[in-house]
């Protein structure tokens, strides 16, 4: 059976949990990372030499890198639906997934860590402002993408929505200026109608 390792409050674990539940998969979940430990133990490092979460073991197929795991599960269980078919369509979805990792995640991380995981007296608010501007710029580009689309790649939810959907939940939960992004907000509201998103992404931000 599929086994998913990782703590529920990790954005990268949330991608995998949301995707697995969106796909209706049976799986076992084992918490790991930060307060849950395990990631530096030999058995975990044998699966994931980075000592990071998430990791999956799908009957012997061991994978890490959250976006790769989402693509693997969607291709295996939902080819032509959650994983678009056709070279161009698939690449378009993968492009937005990689963009989450390269354009939004790097500036989002210091904003999140300063505001949520750093005592108030130690926060670097300059970094929050500078990196917040980068997130706002990136989300303005996502807002333009969503002007005529229900989901990131068109009429139905695909792998492209998963990483970005996890980011926007956090962004709207943070006490920052979110920017003028009505299309992103409307897409986010559509995501909140999905049970798997509510259960695995819309968690207390800690
Ligand atoms: N690029 C990797 C990054 C993985 C990563 O940085 N995971 C963080 C949590 S979001 C982690 O493992 N932090 C240490 C820990 O939780 O112990 C992915 O997308 O899976």
Distance from the alpha carbon of residue 148 to the mean position of ligand 1, in angstroms: 33
Q: Which atom of ligand 1 is nearest to the CA of 11?
A: 10
Q: What top-level class would CATH report for the domain 2-77?
A: alpha beta
Any ligand 1 atom below 6 A from CB of 34:
yes
Residues with pLDDT less than 50, the chain: none
Residue 25's Cβ-side half-sphere holds a number of Cα atoms within 13 Å equal to 23
Any ligand 1 atom below 6 A from CB of 143:
no
Q: Is domain 87-197 annotated with CATH 1.20.1050.10? A: yes
The residue contributing the CA closest to ligand 1 atom 13 is 52
Task: For residues 58 and 20, give the distance between their C-alpha atoms in angstroms, rounded to a whole number.
Answer: 12
Q: Which atom of ligand 1 is nearest to the CA of 10?
A: 10
Single pTM value for the model: 0.98
* pLDDT value of residue 125: 98
* pLDDT value of residue 203: 98
Which of 4, 6, 9, 10 gets mutated to test ligand 1 (max ligand atoms within 8 A of its CB)?
A: 10
* pLDDT value of residue 154: 97
* pLDDT value of residue 41: 98
Phi, psi of 85 (to 5 degrees): -100, 155
- Give the domain ranges of the chain: 2-77, 87-197
* pLDDT value of residue 126: 98
* pLDDT value of residue 182: 98
């Amino acid at each position: 059976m599929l086994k998913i390792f990782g703590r529920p409050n990790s954005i990268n674990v949330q991608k995998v949990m949301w995707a697995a539940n969106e796909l209706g998969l049976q799986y076992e979940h084992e918490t790991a990372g930060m307060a849950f430990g395990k990631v530096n133990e030999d058995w975990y490092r044998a699966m994931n030499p980075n000592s990071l979460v998430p990791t999956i073991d799908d009957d012997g197929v061991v994978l890490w890198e959250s976006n790769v795991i989402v693509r693997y599960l969607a291709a295996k269980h939902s080819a032509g639906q959650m994983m678009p078919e056709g070279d161009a369509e698939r690449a378009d979805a993968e492009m937005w997934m990689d963009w989450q990792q390269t354009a939004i995640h790097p500036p989002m991380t210091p904003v999140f860590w300063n505001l949520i995981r750093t005592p108030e007296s130690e926060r670097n608010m300059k970094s929050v402002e500078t990196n917040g501007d980068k997130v706002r710029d990136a989300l303005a580009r996502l807002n333009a993408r969503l002007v005529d689309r229900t989901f990131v790649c068109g009429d139905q939810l695909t792998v492209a929505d998963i990483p970005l959907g996890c980011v926007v939940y956090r962004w709207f939960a943070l006490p920052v200026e979110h920017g003028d992004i009505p299309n992103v907000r409307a897409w986010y509201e559509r995501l909140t109608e999905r049970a798997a998103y509510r259960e695995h992404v819309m968690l207390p931000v800690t």
